[in-house]
Structure 1
């Protein structure tokens, strides 16, 4: 059943022939994390790509005394510190669980081996990375051009379920606003 969730996520991007899917599927191992556990710390090299079966994670950076949430990952999404993973360089930020998480993970060497062997798997990784980069660029523009209320409205239009899934202090951090402003918007903005 766990592998079925992964297969659906992969097949949403590319249709792998059965033998390629079987070889890809064999490279994933189950792993579990407790609530508020650091999966990857700043300064470590990300060794795995993850697929979240259950739970919520966040990636965040710390600059001085300020913490900034970069992204959330939850059930059905791929996870990990993608730039550290793909470049095999130390991470500049942290990946932690917000809830207990069950994941599948694949080591870097296995993914590289499969990409070298199968152009369709390399295409899957390229397309996934392209979609992730597109999302990062969209979010970057939003952060530079939107005020607090606009960012709040866009978040709720895009992902209304996060209000019940993720603590509000982390949503405020993700939007780049203080928790008091987030609380005010929560009580005044009608969608």
Structure 2
């Protein structure tokens, strides 16, 4: 089902959200489109928006002092997106956030989002629970990066998000998995997908 408005999107995420909260929250999101390879947030900028992804694929990444990129996460519909820590803390981002494909979003600015949270404490609790689940995912990924072999990381990605192989250029997936493109290509040839 293609979701095109904030009300339906948010209702899908939180089906039991009271109507007044849903209406207030949905009312702060506005449509936004970006072309492929558009930087939405640069390192050093404060993230201005919380995004709901309708179409397309995006990534958050860091650039090391020697210029190497480290892909941290991919986002795609239906999910929240943006540089969450920068948005919630209103501090400069340590990361870059860009579109990998043409993308459509619903987005809300921080001031409007914060006002809705202040008005509805239940919503703040739901956001905290969502952030807790996100943190759990980050910790699981950290274990994968530090203790799994390259093949195990690849198989885990295939089990969790096989569709990424069709959506994301393989060089970014290889980077996300912490391997070079040559080893990634070898794994692609060895493992039945």
TM interval, short-chain normalised:
over 0.9
Matched residues, number: 189
List runs of 5+ in structure 1 lacking aligned partners.
none
- How far 1:111 moved relative to its partner? 1.5
Matches within 5 A, 1:86-165: 86-165=88-167
Aligned partners of 2:158, 2:95: CA distance in 1, in Å?
25
Give the aligned CA root-mean-square deviation in angstroms: 1.2
- How far 1:114 moved relative to its partner? 1.3
Name 1:54's counterpart in structure 2. Answer: 55
Aligned partners of 2:89, 2:178: CA distance in 1, in Å?
27
- What stretches of structure 1 move > 4 A for 4+ residues in a row? none
Aligned partners of 1:9, 1:125: CA distance in 2, in Å?
15
**In the alignment, is the contact (CA less than 8 A) between 1:143 and 1:151 conserved in 2?**
yes
- How far 1:190 moved relative to its partner? 3.0
**In the alignment, is the contact (CA less than 8 A) between 1:9 and 1:76 conserved in 2?**
no
Q: 1:5 to 1:21 in 2, by over 3 A?
A: closer
- How far 1:6 moved relative to its partner? 1.6
- How far 1:5 moved relative to its partner? 4.5
List runs of 5+ in structure 2 lacking aligned partners.
none
Aligned partners of 1:185, 1:120: CA distance in 2, in Å?
46
Q: 1:42 to 1:9 in 2, by over 3 A?
A: farther
